[in-house]
Amino acid sequence: GDSVTQMEGPVTLSEEAFLTINCTYTATGYPSLFWYVQYPGEGLQLLLKATKADDKGSNKGFEATYRKETTSFHLEKGSVQVSDSAVYFCALVRGNTGKLIFGQGTTLQVKP
Amino acid sequence: KAGVTQTPRYLIKTRGQQVTLSCSPISGHRSVSWYQQTPGQGLQFLFEYFSETQRNKGNFPGRFSGRQFSNSRSEMNVSTLELGDSALYLCASSLLGTEKYGYTFGSGTRLTVV
């Protein structure tokens, strides 16, 4: 079945460091891919998405490119801030199922 | 534009009881899906409703059920609660339940079973 694998956390960085969180997926067909972020005590917020191969999603300085050949959707940010500390989830969905499949989440802690 | 509203935010129930959680989607959205989030299992899909019909269902026991009303508001019910049902329950709304429009999540209902 479909699945999403994220790099193990927690990831601890200093402010202004470069961030990469790896995400790979297994799915038949052409899923859409998402990154969600969850702050403590809150629900999930959509960070960015890509719906076809080679699409690049971007938002608030975060970027991710849909790589069909490597089945990956790695999240990157050039300079992280303390306020970026949160849990990041990679997810996929296929077709009109309304069913998001999530990775296990990666905790990011940014220190001043 | 109001977001996705889930009520209540917190619940404490006793084992064996039943519970009903509510989700009001973004106005105009017709798809509502539900997820269970636990530290051990992560985020797991429960079911999705579109125009009052259940379109998709995850691998949860029959104690977990849901419904959607004509105004797209949705409820999920858990009967005969078990300790393992303690979790954050999230709902997500989507215009048509397709990836093109994305999914917007509520803040969740934190259920504690004692």
Most distant CA atoms of chain B, gap in Å: 41
The pLDDT value given to residue B99: 67
* Contact (CB<8Å) A93/B99: yes
**End-to-end alpha carbon distance in chain A:** 41
CA-nearest residue to A96 within chain B is B98
Give me the residue from A34, A42, A51 closest to B107, CB to CB.
Answer: A42
Q: Is the pLDDT of residue B85 over 80?
A: yes
Read off the amino acid at residue A10.
P
Give me the residue from B56, B90, B99 closest to A44, CB to CB.
Answer: B90
- Spell out the per-residue pLDDT of chain A, length 112, in tens: 899 999 888 999 999 999 999 999 999 888 999 999 999 888 999 999 999 999 999 999 999 999 999 999 999 999 999 999 999 999 999 877 778 999 999 999 999 9
Mean pLDDT in chain B?
94
Among A88, A44, A80, A11, residue whose Cα is nearest residue B103 = A44
Dump pLDDT digits (tens) for B18-62.
Answer: 999 999 999 999 999 999 999 999 999 999 999 999 999 999 999
Mean pLDDT, range B74-96, rounded to an integer: 95
The pLDDT value given to residue A95: 75
Cβ atoms of residues B23 and B74 within 8 Å: yes
Among A30, A10, A110, residue whose Cα is nearest residue A73 = A30
Is the CB of A42 inside 8 Å of chain B's CB atoms? yes
